[in-house]
Amino acid sequence: MTKRDKQIELGEKIEAGLQKVYERLIEFKKSKNSELVVMRDGKIVKIKPE
């Protein structure tokens, strides 16, 4: 396995981990009936998870 292949594999693992974190965050916010705070178009916006 080349260095480039290892980097690609690591990047894929990181993306998969971030996706899991995002899904768990949404589940947590739904269970607590809490708002998500995100930035859209340079503005801070609070949204309800659905």
Structural domain including 32 reads 3-47
State yes or no: pLDDT of 30 exceeds 90. yes
- Please give the structure tokens belonging to residue 6: 């290892």
State yes or no: pLDDT of 50 exceeds 90. no
Asked if 16 and 4 touch (Cβ cutoff 8 Å), the reply is no
Backbone angles phi, psi at 42, to 5 degrees: 80, 5
Q: What is the mean pLDDT of the chain?
A: 95
State yes or no: pLDDT of 49 exceeds 90. no
List Cβ neighbours of 25 (8 Å cut-off, separation of 6 or more).
36
The total domain count for the chain is 1
Distances (CA, A) of 32 to 8, 18, 28: 36, 21, 6
